[in-house]
Structure 1
Amino acid sequence: MLRPYQVTALDRLAAAWAEGRRRAWVVLPPGAGKTLIGLEAARRLDRRTVVLVPNTAIQDQWIAHWRGFTPATTTAGADRSLAADVTVLTYQSLAIFDPETETDVEGHTRSPMRRLHANGRELIDRLAGAGPLTLVLDECHHLLDVWGRLVAEVLDRLPGALVLGLTGTPPESLSPAEAGLVDTLFGSPILGASIPALVREGHLAPFAELAWLTPPTAVEAGHIAGEAERFAELTTGLVTSTDFLTWLDARFTTRTVPWVRIEKDEPRLAAAALRMHHAGLLDLPAGARLREEHRHAPSAEDWVELLDDYVTHALTDDGLREAIRRALPAVGYRLTRRGIRAAQSPVDRVLARSAAKTYATVEITAAEDTALGERLRALVLCDHERAGVRLPALLRGVLEPEAGSAWLVLGNLVADERTRALDPMLVTGKTVAAGPDTARAFVAWAGRPELSITFDDGLCVIGGPWSPRTWVALVTAFFEEGRCRVLVGTRALLGEGWDARGVNVLVDLTAAATTTSVVQTRGRALRLDPSWPEKVANVWTVVCVTDRHPKGSADWQRFVRKHRGYLAAAPDGEIVSGVAHVDAAFSPYAPPPVASLDAVNVAMGERAAAREETRTAWRLGTGFRDELVHTLRVRPVRTLTPTFVPAGPSEPPAVVPAAACAQPVPSPPAGARVVSTLIGAGVLFSALAVLTWVSVLLGGPLLLAGGALAVRRDRTLRRAGRLLAGAVGDPPLLWFACAVADGLRASGLSPRGAEGVVTRVEPDGSYRLSLADVDAETSRRFALALDEVLSPIASPRYLVSRYVLRPAPVRARARAWLAGTAVADGVVYHAVPAALGQNRGRATAFATAWNTWVSAGEPVYANTPEGEGVLATHRGEDPLAATTVLRVAWD
């Protein structure tokens, strides 16, 4: 039976055909049943059908699904003659190139069609002569980087064909060149439901994204430290014995070019400069603002970015140039006549293929066995079966010869008695291997006496008269039955399209970090398991980090790229993209301290074992909008008071724990805001007037007779003092957020105002603020605007003031109020957000909201004498001393 989202996709596809489109592509996550959609679409079109797929494993799955899906009268096969009603072929069967025809007689590269081998051209001729044809291109993202130009030419030869592309790669992840090719091939996409939506509805298994962080082995660490010495000598010499720092100062802090221009024109150079400031090597440039990504030590990339600029524009010392040239290879760069260019990084290679990752895989599978027992079905994905090429001389004796390979992983799993009992097996497009006992058990189970077992370095290779099409199916069935509970394979074979519903643990050891590879890899673990309806999958990424080299975070950055844009449930139940769904404390800009890695792994192990909590975090069966929501995470440095907005008995606080649902925002604040308003206005009150106002504010009638007046006055003095004490310091972040939301609504930029603001408190004391029940663009607009309000002033079009009370003896301050001698106490300025500063009308609308929620203050246009004076005095000031970072969540 088709699921609702599949019906929707098919209906949209039918509408596209009815509109006269000849080509279309459907986007659905792995495990969502793209094959079923392709089968049903082909059945409805009732034409001869040809399906092209990436590999033989997927080819067999299509044929098997078709035979189980259609009446027996419909034939399906894999013969290039196209005699069957449905023919399933691999892309490779089409793209057979003749190396001798790569260039013409003048040396120009030929088009892909002209480079085809005769067999490939023959197949295309058959396609062109097959009559009305439905051509299904499965996992069509492969066309973008392998066969794209060829398929474009083939489709031009098939003008009568209806072409359906199927992929799990979201269109927003495509580069401009890829998007252009897809548009040429297929037109606009037909989008299905997202991964979180399918999990929430129960069509995919809930899952947790986890990380095992490990330092390199002792031998690897020694090599890395040695490589770091050369670069450390260079950077130390630059700082102590050259004009490099003087040049940095001239380049960034004494220039008259506004910092916003530098950040816009040279973003990587500007970011590197700010990290140098964080390291104490550069003054903070005027107008610059330190964000989360700047608050860590300069990386090798930062040094190289600055060095390249220095070498290009300032360096005249040939001796220093030579020293730079010698030191750069240690961090994966080389000095050329045109500047510094990237080269192969030996340290990156060591971290990516560290033997420590293989040892971590053993620990993960052993821990998962303890948690799941006989139910465990673990898949370990690697980039390569064997190392394939000799290590460079520099790394011999540092990395194991088979470092990073599936073969080495299998060897370690078989060698450890905890995981040997799990009967691990290796399956690739070339090899099936296992430990001796497992190999013999598999051959007996398969019932194929013609299979042979040969020993290779302690492992057994199973061979015989069979092909990948046969052995992948057999090993998969052996695995699904639980006779092998850990399967090791390569991303090329098992990383996409391969279907094993029992997989509940995935260990990702691959270096691929594209959106396509991440979505496809994770899809192996998300299919529902009929034998375990409560299945919860754990997806592990193993990361090797070190603080002994400036490129020691290279593998961490690869981990960050894998999770960028990928949505998963965090432990608190919020579904967010990026490494925050692995651990809220993880930064996309730097790994945790090496000293904390063991503690991180312990916490990850505890989360892995708590599968029921993961299931709860996904809130299965609850409603959703399937839209992205942009949030601002704020970590205050100073205390923000009061923590909660005063609310009536029936009004819950707007600041809620992270796990709680959104609550209504209370009415605008009275106490602290009114106090700052009156102080800001510089109003002088008589004692009686102030006393009357405070009494009314505090809700009681004022007695003016004799001793009663004195008693009441003393009580009022104490209560006024408490009120004033509450106004000292910064207002709650919620008030700023409400002002921004109301300003956006008043300007027609948002359908919701303060009532839509949601604030959540993180365990580490930080806050997450967002605007609920709006579209993704409005939520993004809100988050960016709030970020500008809370951040140091750069170069806004408008500014707005906030009046503040400085710390002082409470009773003395209250007496000054009651005596009518209160005067303006202090003022700080905030930027009016760019979206609200485009014209005077929007700036005034924001100021009105600001007056309601935060403080008195009029918008000041920066391009006036008054505004220029404010900017000259306050540019670069941090009004709240808070660090902020934008996050993307799902609702």
Structure 2
Amino acid sequence: MMWRMPESAPPAEPDPAPAAAWATVTYPRQFRTHQRQALDAIDTAVASGARRAWVVLPPGAGKTLVGLEAARRVGRPIVAFGPNTAIQGQWLAAWREFTPAALPAGTARDLSAPVTALTYQSLANFDPDAEVDEDGRAHLPKAGGKRRGGLRDRLHDNGRALVEALENAGPVTLVLDECHHLLEVWGRLLAELLEDLPQAHVIGLTGTPPDTLTAEQSRLVDELFGSPLYSTSIPSVVREGNLAPFAELAWFTEPTPTESQWLAAQAERFAELRTDLLEADTEFLPWLDRRFVSRPVSGLGAESPAVAWSRVERDEPERAAAALRFHHAGLLALPPGAALREEHRVEPTADDWVALLGEYLTARLLPSSDPDDQAVVEKIRAALPSVGYQLTKRGIRRGRSPVDRVLARSEAKTDAAAEIMAAESDALGSRLRGLVLCDHERASATLPARLRGVLDAEAGSARLVLSNLLADPRTAALEPVLITGRAVAADAGTARKLVAFVAEHAPEIELDEILPDAVGAVDVTGQWSSRRWVPLVTRFYETGAAQVLVGTRALLGEGWDARGVNTLVDLTTATTPTAVVQTRGRALRVDPEWPEKVANTWTVVCVSEEHPGGAGDWHRFVRKHHGYFAVTDNGEIASGVGHVDPWLSPYAPPPASTFADENEAMCARAQNRARVRELWQVGTPYRDELVHTIRVIPTSQARRTAPREPEPGAPQPPSWVSAREAARRPWPDLGAGPAPPRRGLAALATAVALIVGAVGVVAGLWWLPVAMAAVPAAAWWRWVSALRAASLAAGRELAALADGPDPLAFGYAVADAMQDLGLSERGADAVSGVVEADGSYTIALNGVDMETSRRFTTALDEVFAPLTAPRWVIARFVTDPLPDDDAVRAAGLAWLRRTAEPNAIVYHAVPAGFSSSSARVNAFVHAWNRWVSTGLATMMTGPVAESILATHRGADPFAATTALRIDWS
């Protein structure tokens, strides 16, 4: 945490009379848990002499009250800035809740009121004629720029007057709401301004997590505020009951037939290029092999191939990932030292081809004077625009992609919005309060000539969404209303109701009459602006007179509040963390009229399999969910698309053939709001910590159809583990097991009986030999029975090993090895596993910091992965399945007699984190023998290593696939 005290002047104390007045005003209700914690953090900092603070609270957590109360406690005039007029109004309304109403609030730029609420635009009201140079380029100095040539010199007169008022107001408290907006030009201005306000206290409020900022943004925020004093997450506020539980859902669609036909035609040229490049007589694949597989490794000394490849991934991440996807597609051998991770086990994308083609062009084709090479250059030049790229003098550059525009604004997405609202209406009836958010009201740019006849001119607009909703009888009955910064529109019948509503609740506003013969969508016009129609239309909507609002992210995506919103359909293209958090925050307000409210947030995703760039909208969907936490269908709270459906991968969309089933499953989940609320466990304890997890999906049918819940309590090492000959108990007691019955006792009993019988014959006691004959018979019968029982028991233990270790056993081994080496405070006792109905596991190491949990999941992922070029490998013995009881008994008997045939062997990589020293390798072997299998580690050098890699490279040592994720707890 960083705090700065100005060195030029000592802090000035507020005048006693105003301070006393501030102390008499209080907030009449209790603050929520997170509000109290944030206020305590600010109080502590202020008491220590700090003047700048920054707290992170998600939308709906009560940032406004925190800002006002923190500023009130400072005891100085308050000037609060927000990004729009809606938030400005919220500040005024919130201050009116403080009692007694002795200190008024206002919006005057002369700061005459004790509390002033302004917008950032009122401060940064630049003169448009001075904003750009002759070429249209803006000159925006870096944060902290000096007054001469800085932003202050380019302010409009109104903005300059406000700056002077701030400088003349004396010591004030500036509250900067939604301060992520300071990352724009306003922040650079404030950096200059605050240099001249050394006595001001500054409190920043935002819902955007600090770890999502870029390096430049972080630098600016650090200059303005220092490190955040307090931060909490959306899940923690939901657990407290101060935000509504919610489910993240998706509707998957393909482009319309017309759009698909156009996309297929666009893809033909790039497909032809790929075919040409893969011809046997072309140089592309051999060049790739020289570049990534047989590449010369110079200057790396004795570094292992894995270290050398890690440098490639560090220096050229996009090309390295593309090369590994080419390997997955069978187009390239595996580069030495490389390991395939989840993101590599997908087909190469158009971006992957372009990443490799770019260097191939500059390194191989462009310097060549060969006419054949130049012909290939021209083919590449002609094909690149079809995937959104262009070949320029400086190489391949990304351009505006018409393909991405078709996917982002596909008419299928507006149709999907209607389907979602119809399904939600069936589930909620009159309770439905839906919101559809778009990027724009109307298409602002002229449709490119090549897209005419492919896309509607209004494609992706709020106007088109309204039109579609009104055209469908199921959603027309919901009386949707369009509301943007420029217009209000609805069906004529709904518009008449709205006009009457405004006349009743705001009679001073004169609206134009809706003509009696008007039908279809009409605009509601009159003497009003967005400042007036936003609150009025919102009230109209909350009464249920309109059950769906269609609006733009600019107006309704931030600062707008309607507590009843319970269904949000996101049609926007914004993927920044700020936009995602703010957009979803519209639906998360707690509804006093429905305490059991659960919100559904839908993202519509359009994917085309007709085009190599057809996953662009999918990757936008992935970026939206990256770093955003929501509940999964099994109760985890996870980041990424896995919380929509655990089978979704961030690296590739599901097949289009599954879309209908996915949408049906999404609708079923949407209807079961009670289950979503139960999964969130509102009111239960939490740690508000992040933990890395690994999802393990066994491909063994037996395991997937018969999942087993982990045993309660601390895990115990298994009684048996697989071994070379059959099975043994865990290390170090490798010789223990079911003891075979002692045949020697039966033999001794037989010998004694014979001797006694012989004595009886000599003595003439004829009955004694007969009696003694029963003794060895009984002894031998008992021995045979015991042998059968022991062999059956041993065989059943062996049969249980045929499926291989439980996935959790691998996790226990990794955790214990980390603990033994001091790499983790917790071992196997801290490993948790959630087992799904399909047999997949989600495994995590709990009670450790996030970096330790990351190391754990990374190491476990390496254990499960097919062999590539590890430094060390460790053996795991594999027992054969036993088909029937006779085989079970025979195997057990062979084990008891130590005559079993040697078991097959597979090799797993010793994770890189355990491969750096013999002590670390030994610790891993010790844990491996305890939980998984007997077996030793082998260093991958010499003929033995070559033999192992020749027979096992690329083989899956454990029948499972993996996916790394981040969960909240």
TM-score of the superposed pair, with normalisation by structure 1: 0.92
| Other-structure match for 1:189 | 228
The 1:68/1:802 distance shift into structure 2, 3 A limit, reads same
The 1:804/1:77 distance shift into structure 2, 3 A limit, reads same
Deviates more, 1:403-412 or 1:294-303: 294-303
| Other-structure match for 1:649 | none
| Other-structure match for 2:241 | 202
| Other-structure match for 2:342 | 292
CA distance in 2, matches of 1:105, 1:237: 46
| Other-structure match for 1:647 | none
Render the CA deviation track for 1:793-829: whole Å, top value 9, x for unaligned.
4454544333344569766655654554457544333
Q: Is the 8 A contact 2:704 2:839 kept in 1?
A: no
Q: 2:47 aligns with which of 14, 18, 23?
A: 18
Q: Is the 8 A contact 1:679 1:825 kept in 2?
A: no
The reply on whether 1:239 has 2:278 as its aligned counterpart is yes
The 1:592/1:104 distance shift into structure 2, 3 A limit, reads closer
Q: Is the 8 A contact 1:679 1:824 kept in 2?
A: no
CA distance in 2, matches of 1:860, 1:323: 50
| Other-structure match for 1:65 | 94
Render the CA deviation track for 1:512-571: whole Å, top value 9, x for unaligned.
011111111111111101111111111111111111101111101111110111111111
The 1:76/1:527 distance shift into structure 2, 3 A limit, reads same
CA distance in 1, matches of 2:744, 2:540: 84
Q: SS of the residue aligned with 1:452?
A: coil
Render the CA deviation track for 1:681-739: whole Å, top value 9, x for unaligned.
999x9xxxx9xx65438999997643432333344344433333433453222221111
The 1:752/1:443 distance shift into structure 2, 3 A limit, reads same
Q: CA deviation at 1:137?
A: 0.6
Q: 1:667 aligns with which of 716, 719, 727?
A: 716
| Other-structure match for 2:110 | 81
Deviates more, 1:293-302 or 1:378-387: 293-302
CA distance in 2, matches of 1:284, 1:700: 56
CA distance in 1, matches of 2:317, 2:959: 23
CA distance in 2, matches of 1:335, 1:232: 17
| Other-structure match for 1:419 | 475
Render the CA deviation track for 1:364-412: whole Å, top value 9, x for unaligned.
1122122112211111111111111211111112111111111111122
| Other-structure match for 2:333 | 283
| Other-structure match for 1:716 | 790
Structure 2 spans left out of the alignment, 5+ residues: 1-29, 141-148, 298-304, 748-778
CA distance in 2, matches of 1:798, 1:296: 27
The reply on whether 1:757 has 2:831 as its aligned counterpart is yes
| Other-structure match for 1:308 | 358
Q: Is the 8 A contact 2:726 2:903 kept in 1?
A: no
The reply on whether 1:733 has 2:733 as its aligned counterpart is no
Render the CA deviation track for 1:630-689: whole Å, top value 9, x for unaligned.
111112335688999xxxxxxxx9x428xxxx8324421122346768789999x9xxxx
Q: 1:445 aligns with which of 468, 478, 501?
A: 501
Q: Which amino acid aligns with 2:966?
A: V
The 1:710/1:419 distance shift into structure 2, 3 A limit, reads closer
Q: Is the 8 A contact 2:467 2:521 kept in 1?
A: yes
CA distance in 2, matches of 1:231, 1:263: 27
Q: CA deviation at 1:748?
A: 1.5
CA distance in 2, matches of 1:367, 1:613: 18
Q: 2:316 aligns with which of 247, 258, 266?
A: 266
Q: CA deviation at 1:103?
A: 6.9
Q: Which amino acid aligns with 2:247?
A: A
Q: How does 1:22-41 map to 2 (within 5 A)?
A: 22-41=51-70
Q: 2:434 aligns with which of 378, 382, 390?
A: 378
Q: How many residues align?
A: 871
Q: Which amino acid aligns with 2:909?
A: A
| Other-structure match for 1:119 | 158
The reply on whether 1:656 has 2:709 as its aligned counterpart is yes
| Other-structure match for 2:15 | none
CA distance in 2, matches of 1:779, 1:161: 42
Q: CA deviation at 1:194?
A: 1.4
| Other-structure match for 1:851 | 929
The reply on whether 1:249 has 2:289 as its aligned counterpart is yes
The 1:249/1:105 distance shift into structure 2, 3 A limit, reads closer
Render the CA deviation track for 1:823-874: whole Å, top value 9, x for unaligned.
7544333333233334333332222212211223344455789778766875
| Other-structure match for 2:958 | 880
Q: How does 1:97-496 map to 2 (within 5 A)?
A: 97-102=126-131, 110-240=149-279, 242-255=282-295, 257=297, 258=305, 260-261=309-310, 262-315=312-365, 316=368, 317-447=373-503, 448=507, 450-452=510-512, 458-496=520-558
Percent same amino acid among aligned pairs?
A: 56
CA distance in 1, matches of 2:335, 2:924: 29
CA distance in 2, matches of 1:227, 1:702: 86
Render the CA deviation track for 1:287-339: whole Å, top value 9, x for unaligned.
44433323332211111112112212222400110111011001100112222
The reply on whether 1:56 has 2:85 as its aligned counterpart is yes
CA distance in 2, matches of 1:272, 1:388: 36
The 1:173/1:703 distance shift into structure 2, 3 A limit, reads farther
| Other-structure match for 2:877 | 803
Q: SS of the residue aligned with 1:340?
A: strand
Q: SS of the residue aligned with 1:696?
A: coil
The 1:502/1:680 distance shift into structure 2, 3 A limit, reads closer
Q: SS of the residue aligned with 2:103?
A: coil
Q: CA deviation at 1:105?
A: 11
Render the CA deviation track for 1:401-432: whole Å, top value 9, x for unaligned.
11111111112222322222222111122212
CA distance in 2, matches of 1:158, 1:24: 15
Render the CA deviation track for 1:771-798: whole Å, top value 9, x for unaligned.
2333323222221121122223445454
CA distance in 2, matches of 1:639, 1:486: 46
CA distance in 2, matches of 1:7, 1:239: 64
Q: Is the 8 A contact 2:721 2:934 kept in 1?
A: no
CA distance in 2, matches of 1:703, 1:589: 67
CA distance in 2, matches of 1:104, 1:631: 51
Q: CA deviation at 1:25?
A: 0.9
Q: Is the 8 A contact 2:703 2:839 kept in 1?
A: no
Q: Which amino acid aligns with 1:610?
A: N
Q: Is the 8 A contact 2:322 2:356 kept in 1?
A: yes
The 1:95/1:728 distance shift into structure 2, 3 A limit, reads same
CA distance in 1, matches of 2:730, 2:588: 61
Q: SS of the residue aligned with 1:587?
A: coil
Deviates more, 1:196-205 or 1:310-319: 310-319
Q: Which amino acid aligns with 2:494?
A: T
CA distance in 2, matches of 1:763, 1:589: 24
Q: Which amino acid aligns with 1:850?
A: W
Render the CA deviation track for 1:436-485: whole Å, top value 9, x for unaligned.
11111111111146212579995222222223211111111111111221
Q: Is the 8 A contact 2:630 2:638 kept in 1?
A: yes
Q: How does 1:597-616 map to 2 (within 5 A)?
A: 597-616=659-678
Q: CA deviation at 1:183?
A: 0.6
Q: CA deviation at 1:762?
A: 2.5
CA distance in 2, matches of 1:790, 1:571: 25
Q: SS of the residue aligned with 1:669?
A: coil
CA distance in 1, matches of 2:824, 2:894: 43
CA distance in 1, matches of 2:292, 2:803: 33
| Other-structure match for 1:767 | 841
Q: 1:536 aligns with which of 587, 592, 598?
A: 598
CA distance in 1, matches of 2:514, 2:393: 54
TM-score of the superposed pair, with normalisation by structure 2: 0.85
| Other-structure match for 1:648 | none
Q: Is the 8 A contact 2:443 2:457 kept in 1?
A: yes
The 1:680/1:88 distance shift into structure 2, 3 A limit, reads closer
CA distance in 1, matches of 2:849, 2:573: 35
Work out which of the two has the higher radius of gyration on C-alpha atoms and give 1 or 2: 2
